[in-house]
Every structure is written in structure tokens, then in C-alpha cells.
Structure 1
Amino acid sequence: MKHFVTAAVFTYPHEIAILRHLLQDAGLQFYFENETMLTVVPMYTQALGGIKLKVHVNDLDTVKLILDEFERGNNLKIV
């Protein structure tokens, strides 16, 4: 895990539901740090710094493209 970097930070577990599938479909190496803890105790989000999307350094550019496309052209906004 030492070659993984933070690509994005999310506040709540529901924000990563669709993104997880997009990253898996792309075949990327990733994990969400603090996901389990914030699912159990959501009020710890500020104390833990949110849910961090960690990706392999080699996949960072691809993940940024996926994140940009997801934010820009997505009709499935989670509110």
C-alpha cells in the first residue's frame, strides 16, 4: 500500500457507491480508507478526514479523468 496516493476525499459512504463500480469496471487498483469506520460511526467524518480514495500511483491520471467525467456529465447525482 506504500505506492498508493489519495485521489479524492468524500464525506459520506453513499457518495462512493457509483464511483466504486466505475473504478472496478476500469480495472484499477484502489481502496477507500476509513470507509468501514464511517459506515459504522458517520459522525467521525471530520475527525478522520473523510473517506479517502486511495489509488496506485500509476493509475492516478486515469482516476482523475473518471472523477472529472463523473462530476461533469453524470445524471445520477447523489444528494
Structure 2
Amino acid sequence: MNDFVTVAVFDYPHEITVLKHLLDQAEIDYFFENETMMNIAPMYSQALGGIRLKVHPEDAETVREILKKLNDESNLKIV
């Protein structure tokens, strides 16, 4: 996990719900740094630097593509 890189940063836990499903479906190893703290005290988001999506460097480009598709205007917006 020390070699994992940050691919994206989110402010609130609800923003990562669908993304978790997509990453699991793609069988990508990942973790969200600060996720637990944001669930306990969401007002600390800015102080802690948000929820950081960490992935292995080999998967970074694939994850960026997933994020790009998720944020595409043609998709339904969850949030």
C-alpha cells in the first residue's frame, strides 16, 4: 500500500459509493484514505484534505478512465 498513488480526492463519503462498485467490478485494488474519519466527522473534510482514492500506479490510468466516464455529462448524476 506504500506504493499506491492518489488518483482523486472527494469531499464527502456519499461521492464514492458508486465509484466503489465500479472499482470492485473492474477488480482494481484500491483504498480510500480518510474515509472512516469523514463518516465520523464530515466537517473535518477540508482539514484532513478530503477522502483520497489510492490505487496501484499500474491501475491509475484505468481508474482515471472510470472517473472520466462517471463524470461524463451523458451519465445520470447521482449527486
Give the alignment's TM-score, normalised by structure 1: 0.95
Cα distance in 2 for partners of 1:78, 1:29 equals 23
SS at match of 2:2: coil
Q: How many residues align?
A: 78
In the TM superposition, structure 1's runs of 4+ consecutive aligned residues that sit over 2 Å from their partners are none
The Cα of 1:64 is off from its aligned counterpart by 0.5
Read off the aligned partner of 1:62 and give its amino acid letter. T
Gaps of 5+ in 2: none
2:11 is matched with which residue?
Answer: 11
Give the alignment's TM-score, normalised by structure 2: 0.95
Q: How does 1:1-79 map onto structure 2 within 5 Å? A: 1-72=1-72, 73-75=74-76, 77-79=77-79
SS at match of 1:3: coil
SS at match of 2:71: helix
Cα distance in 1 for partners of 2:20, 2:2 equals 21
Q: CA RMSD in A?
A: 0.8
